[in-house]
Structure 1
Amino acid sequence: MCLQLSKSSNKHHVKLPKLGIMRFKAGIKIPEKIKSVTVRLSPTGKYYAVLLVEYEKQTFNKTGRQLGIDLGVADLVIGSDGIKFPTIRFDKILARKKHYWEKRLARRRLQAQKEIAWDKHNKVLNPRCLDDFKNYKKAKLMVAEYNEKMTNQRNDYLHKITVQLVKDNDVIVMEDLKAKNLLRNHKLSRAIVNQSWREMRRMLEYKCAWCGKTLVIVNPYKTSQICSECGYDDGKHTLDIRDWTCPGCGHHHDRDINAAKNILRLGTSLGKRVVTSA
């Protein structure tokens, strides 16, 4: 079944079966032919239409560049060329406003539960439920809106980084991080979740496939403790050590850049598994 955009009002209407003509907002031009539409309701009460369309494959010019990237906490992405993309803590930016409504949500939920229990105790014919309390629903909506805003800001930042990486490099080598194991460190667990490393990998996978570039995934074992110049193994470094000097060759390393160089070497010289390619 093929759906068509409505002819009315500057292509801002789509005709859906059983629903008729629906107005929508979109930041890009929608192709005339739509194969399918999935309508999704978000926790904030917004309806999103996910469209499946035919679209011409986008490609970027070949640059001949190869890049190894190390994922971190202080900096989100560290490249083997020395370029770093800083971490932006979107959860902290809105933390105070979100906490304001989280406290009210907890208090209003407790009050509503007391009212519901009182109705049941008095055997009211139609006892109230949580959705019958407008103050509770308002607080719940506000918390959901702040969560959605943080998610949108984080995804927008990840999209900008991944597009730049794919556009500037033909081969990208990244580490296969197991975030579940890293979350055992309770001091860094919240910061690690905020980084969304898995989401960044997912974006790189499909963008490399779209644009004719190659993504390689390697095991990050010892990449931060081996000298990228001479291969000397300096042993495990604690997280507070951000730079070190190799006892073997005397070269001074930035911990993250050195790891990114080792990741690039693993991905290009040892023929590791290619995830996506042209």
Structure 2
Amino acid sequence: FDASYFEKQSRIWQSKYSRRRHLASLLCEQAKNQKVLNPKSLESFSNWQRARKLKANYQKKVANKRKDYLHKLTTHLVRQYDVIAIEDLKVKNLQKNHCLAKAIANASWSMFRQMLEYKCERYGKELIAVNPKNTSRICSKCGFNSGAKPLEIREWTCPNCQVHHDRDINAAVNILHKATLNGQELAVVNS
């Protein structure tokens, strides 16, 4: 989804809000130290209040665009496929990686999974959550585990069978294999 304009405005107004609130609190402290008879309260400064409202408005627009995109995507997937296999990722643990945290939060993986779960239940479709262990390490052709790879490596060649793999496609094939091994017969049908 493209909410770049709203995200940019949200960042701009977040910094304006922080600066204006800081200046208002400094003026309040200054009035208190000078023992002014009727010092202004922090809430009486309208400048930072306006920035707070605009910041919240842009943040809400970003959240609404994200939610709308996820609803459309999950509905499309559930209507098109009878069985959907996904990795059972621990999103909270993945967000501890400071390099990926913002991207994972923006993608809303948890919300995506929740929507898939209840829509699969509503439409009578099946959602299979697969253990993510070694899905990107194992060769989908021969099953050889080539060990851990840093995230920068997007393509690799299996040292056992010499098949060249795209990391994401290989992981998707392995997820599909694991889902079928769990006793589930996958018949992905386009409707």
Query: TM-score per shorter chain, which class?
Result: 0.7 to 0.9
Cα distance change on mapping 1:241 and 1:89 into 2, 3 Å: farther
Check the 8 A contact 1:89/1:194 in 2, yes or no.
Answer: no
CA distance in 1, matches of 2:88, 2:104: 15
The reply on whether 1:243 has 2:155 as its aligned counterpart is yes
Task: Please point out which of 242, 262, 271 is paired with 2:174.
Answer: 262
Paired positions, count: 183
CA distance in 2, matches of 1:191, 1:176: 18
Residue identity over aligned pairs, in percent, reads 46
CA distance in 2, matches of 1:224, 1:261: 10
Task: Please point out which of 24, 29, 44 is paired with 1:112.
Answer: 24
Length-normalised TM-score, structure 2? 0.85
Q: For residue 142 of structure 1, report the CA deviation from its aligned partner.
A: 0.8
Check the 8 A contact 2:6/2:59 in 1, yes or no.
Answer: no
| Corresponding residue of 1:173 | 85
> Once structures 1 and 2 are overlaid, which stretch shifts more, 164-173 or 116-125?
116-125
Cα distance change on mapping 1:104 and 1:250 into 2, 3 Å: same
| Corresponding residue of 2:49 | 137
Question: What SS does the corresponding residue of 1:174 show, helix, strand or coil?
Answer: strand
Question: What SS does the corresponding residue of 2:14 show, helix, strand or coil?
Answer: helix
- CA deviations on 1:111-133 (whole Å, 9 max, x unpaired) are 221333345443646x5433322
Question: What SS does the corresponding residue of 1:94 show, helix, strand or coil?
Answer: helix
Higher-helix-fraction structure: 2
The reply on whether 1:226 has 2:138 as its aligned counterpart is yes
Q: Partner letter of residue 242 of structure 1?
A: R
Higher-strand-fraction structure: 1
Length-normalised TM-score, structure 1? 0.60
Check the 8 A contact 2:7/2:62 in 1, yes or no.
Answer: no
Task: Please point out which of 187, 194, 208 is paired with 2:99.
Answer: 187
Name stretches of at least 5 consecutive residues in structure 1 with no aligned partner: 1-87, 273-278
Q: CA RMSD for the aligned pairs? A: 2.1
Check the 8 A contact 2:87/2:132 in 1, yes or no.
Answer: yes
Check the 8 A contact 1:130/1:136 in 2, yes or no.
Answer: no
